[in-house]
């Protein structure tokens, strides 16, 4: 992927991204109007993934102070 627009276009073509109601949406819509921290976890039941999720949640308030959601 050559640039940010191409990366966003490639991600928009993903069909397996759904919201909490099961409706599909473009993953890139999450960062079009704000900064985000996006972390992909292999499996939440994995102890390493659970540890990573706990660490991210622990710094959530600090991230919001920097405008990262």
Q: Please give the pLDDT value at position 51.
A: 92
**pLDDT single digits (tens) 4-53:** 666 666 656 655 678 889 888 888 888 888 888 888 888 878 899 899 98
pLDDT above 70 (res 68)? yes
**∠ Cα 48 54 58 (to 5°):** 145
Nearest to residue 34, comparing CAs of 63, 13, 6?
A: 63
Q: Which residue has the higher pLDDT, 60 or 1?
A: 60
CA distance 68 to 31: 10
pLDDT-based confidence at residue 1 (cuts at 50, 70, 90): very low
């Amino acid at each position: 992927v050559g640039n940010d627009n191409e990366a966003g276009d490639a991600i928009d073509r993903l069909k397996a991204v759904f919201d909490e109601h099961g409706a599909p949406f473009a993953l890139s819509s999450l960062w079009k109007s704000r900064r985000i921290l996006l972390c992909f976890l292999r499996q939440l039941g994995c102890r390493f993934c659970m540890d990573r999720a706990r660490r991210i949640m622990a710094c959530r308030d600090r991230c919001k102070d920097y405008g990262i959601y």
